[in-house]
Each structure stands twice: as C-alpha cells, then as structure tokens.
C-alpha cells in the first residue's frame, strides 16, 4: 500500500429518465498495482476501455521485461497491458511488439506511452514517445497503422472526433503545432500553428469544432479552442476554465488556485474530466479528478483522495480516466502511484431509472406547444448512451441554433428552446444520433 504523504442561448437540458447527474463515485478496488515505489520518473501514462470492456494500460518508462538480441544487446521492454474487469490479462497481453507493413517495432522505453485514446471505431490510438502514433486493433492487439511525427519531440495524448479525424500535439508545445490527421493518418494540416505552452493532453467534440487542452508546468486551467471549419480555418482560443478563486485552506487563503490538467477525458454523461497534477506541485486542489460542464464551465463532480492511501482511493498524479461501456465503472490511472483504481457510480439523492423504464428506440418527439412563442419543449429518447447533435434550421436550410453537441445518457430527455431573437416562420429541429437523423417541423408565431 502507498500511504498519503503529508449557447447556449435559451437552452436548458432536462434529464427526465436516465442516469442521475451529477453522481457520486465510490472507490471499489485496485485493478492493477505494479508495486513500485512512488516516483515521478516512471508510471502509468494512459488508460482506455475498448468496446469489449477490456482495460488498456500504457506505461511510461516502467520496464517489466527484457529481450536479448543476437548481437548481445539487452533491451528493456515497456509493454502495453490489457485486462478484463477482474484484473486478468487477456490472451494477447502484454503487447511487446507492433508490426506495420512488415516492420516490427519493439515497445522499449523509446516508445513509452504518452497517452491513449479510442478512435472512432474503438481501436486504440497509442502515442509513442517522440516517435508517432500507432493504431492497434482492440480485438487482437495487432498494429494496424503508424503515423510518424515530423518533429522528434514527446507527443501528447491524441484525440479523435466522430469522423475519425485525429488531433495531436507536443508536450513541449511552446513553439510547436497541433496537427489534424484524417482517419487514415494522412496529414490534413495544422489545427494550431503554435500552441504556446506545456501540455500533455487534448480532447475534441464529436464535430471536431472545439478542442480542449490541458496545461502544466505551470498549469493555468483547461484551454478551449474553436474552429468553424476544422482543417480549413485555424482554431482560435475562446476561453480558459477550471481554476478556483479565493480558496481557504487552514489559515491560508489563495487568491487563485490553478488547475494543472494532466489528462482530459469525456465522461459518459457528457462532462469533461480533468486530472489535476499532484498537490505538492499544483496546489491545494491537486491529486484529484474534476468533471466540468463545458457549456457552463462549472465543476460538477470530483473523485479521489488527494495523496491518500492508493488502496483506499488515494490519488497522486492523474494520467487518464476511462469508463466501462455502460458508464457505471470508472478506471483512473495514476502516474506516481503506478496503479489503476476502480470506482463505481453510486448516485445519492436521486434514484437511477431501471432498465425497464428506458426507451427501446431512438425517437425525436414533436415539440410542444406547437405553434409556440417564444419557447417550446423538444423531447427525444435515447435507448443507449449516445453522442447527440440537436440543431434548429430555418425554412431556407440555414442553421439558426445549435442546442446540443455532446454525449448524453440513455433515457428520455427534453430541451427547452427559446426563439426570442427569431422572426415568425417555419423552423425545423434536427436530431443526429450516431449518424441517424430525425427532423420535426416547428411553427413560431409572434
């Protein structure tokens, strides 16, 4: 055991039936513990859960094996481990070699994990040291493709949008770009010419229009970037959020406490989870995971016991959060403690809906009242957790409002739409869920 050391304008989303949010998370156990001394020189640096509910764990300079070459050289290995929910390795774990186009690369410390992310089909995007990104088949553990970085510098965790486009930058990003690759690893261009700060992680909205980066050394929060036409128009900074103001700890009051976001991950209820680096470096809010609503920029949930006993939910240096496919189990990677902890979703105050009450089909209901002035309710149902886009168009097909663009829990939902600024006329609300589109006509009469 490791012991502790010292907009949308006029839009309101209402979850009627489904998972209660925000919820609480309860520590259950350690999935894996490498039983190494606490150190900032090596550790776990990536966690993802694939569509088969297998947990992938990437290592940063933890050498768990060696090979000996014919020339007599000794190569320490830095494998990828894949576990089932009970902590047993799957048949192809550990992964020690990756072969692409007949060329086999050894997972040595030169290819240490800089982060992992799922692509749009559930395969693994593995950021490898300063070398590049590998796509790994989640069913077999075999490499599918490789992108080689044009700059030899440590990469960030990659991110992927719903179209399969990939976004990646560099840890030492002060004078380096963030790239956009297509789903086949072809270069589309630069999303950001020069990031301007140190960062380990990137996340992106499903439509690719909004990027979120962390910040560390010295951290200053989560940075939101936006492009109306990704790949054509460069991303511009919108705002920064996640910091705390006038924080009192004991007899000390901090005017501002900055979030050192070392990892960013979308949670199953549409919130952006940020892992705040160890508190002895980042300040009194460190050693925790925090969930943010990216619309309101408010913190809505948190997990962890800062620098506590890792066998009881202690967190030291966050490096990745991932969730089971049903969204009820969270896996947290810790760099300094070298563990992956398991947390269960246990909402308090509001009961979760039973499976019997969940809808069986995807459906966009008719808004009510209709005609309306100026507000109306738009109902829809999701049989499973899904990425949702909800937009309103005028009779000429022009987009007049973007109401939702995030992942939502299964259940019956309602959105209140305020058309105060729009003229009378016919409007069309469009709901896109996993590529399927449903549309309803609405009539605004003033």
Q: Which domains does the chain have, with CATH numbers?
A: 23-345 (2.120.10.30), 355-444 (2.60.40.1930)
- Parallel, antiparallel or unpaired: strands 55-60 and 375-382: unpaired
The reported pTM is 0.76
pLDDT exceeds cutoff 50 at 430: yes
Q: Is 75 exposed, middle or buried (0-12, 13-18, 19+ CB in 10 A)?
A: middle
pLDDT exceeds cutoff 60 at 424: yes
**Count of CB atoms within 10 A of residue 426's CB?**
12
Q: pLDDT tens digit string along 68-107?
A: 766 777 888 999 999 999 999 999 999 999 999 999 999 9
Band the pLDDT of 357: cuts 50, 70, 90.
low
Share of the chain above pLDDT 70, in %: 92
Given this model, what pLDDT does residue 13 score? 40
pLDDT exceeds cutoff 70 at 18: no
pLDDT exceeds cutoff 90 at 19: no
**Looking at 155-159, 257-261, 404-408, which range is the least confident one?**
404-408
What is the distance between the alpha carbons of residues 261 and 282, in angstroms, rounded to a whole number? 10
């Amino acid at each position: 055991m490791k012991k502790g050391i010292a907009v949308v304008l006029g839009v309101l989303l209402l979850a009627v039936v489904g998972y209660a949010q925000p919820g609480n998370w309860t520590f259950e156990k350690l999935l894996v513990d490498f039983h190494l001394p606490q150190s900032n020189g090596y550790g776990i640096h990536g966690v993802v859960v694939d569509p088969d509910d297998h947990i992938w764990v990437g290592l940063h300079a933890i050498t768990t094996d060696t090979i000996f070459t014919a020339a007599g050289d000794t190569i320490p290995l830095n494998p990828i481990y894949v576990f089932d929910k009970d902590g047993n390795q799957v048949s192809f774990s550990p992964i020690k070699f990756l072969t692409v186009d007949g060329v086999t690369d050894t997972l040595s410390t030169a290819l240490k994990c800089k982060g992992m992310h799922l692509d749009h089909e559930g395969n693994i995007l593995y950021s490898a040291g300063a070398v590049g990104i590998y796509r790994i088949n989640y069913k077999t553990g075999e490499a599918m493709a490789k992108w080689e970085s044009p700059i030899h510098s440590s990469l960030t965790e990659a991110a992927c949008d719903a179209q399969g486009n990939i976004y990646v930058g560099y840890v030492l990003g002060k004078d380096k770009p963030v790239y956009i690759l297509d789903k086949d690893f072809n270069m589309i261009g630069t999303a950001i010419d020069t990031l301007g700060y140190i960062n380990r992680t990137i996340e992106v909205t499903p439509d690719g229009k909004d990027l979120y980066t962390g910040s560390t050394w010295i951290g200053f929060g989560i940075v939101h970037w936006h492009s109306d036409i990704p790949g054509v128009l460069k991303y511009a900074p919108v705002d920064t959020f996640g910091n705390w103001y006038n924080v009192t700890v004991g007899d000390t009051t901090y005017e501002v406490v900055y979030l050192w976001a070392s990892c960013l991950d979308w949670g199953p209820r549409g919130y952006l989870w940020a892992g705040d680096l160890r508190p002895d470096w980042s300040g009194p809010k460190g050693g925790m995971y925090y969930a943010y609503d990216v619309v309101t920029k408010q913190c809505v949930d948190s997990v962890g016991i800062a620098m506590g006993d890792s066998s009881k939910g202690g967190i030291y240096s966050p490096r990745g959060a991932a969730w089971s496919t049903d969204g009820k189990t969270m896996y947290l990677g810790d760099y300094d403690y070298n563990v992956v902890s398991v947390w269960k979703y246990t909402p308090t105050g509001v009961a979760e809906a039973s499976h019997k009450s969940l809808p069986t089909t995807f459906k966009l209901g008719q808004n009510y009242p209709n005609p309306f002035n100026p507000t109306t309710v738009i109902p829809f149902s999701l049989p499973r957790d899904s990425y949702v886009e909800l937009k309103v168009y005028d009779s000429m097909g022009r987009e007049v409002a973007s109401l939702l663009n995030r992942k939502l829990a299964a259940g019956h939902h309602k959105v209140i739409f305020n058309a105060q600024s729009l003229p009378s006329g016919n409007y069309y609300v469009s709901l896109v869920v996993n590529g399927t589109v449903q549309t309803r006509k609405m009539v605004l009469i003033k």
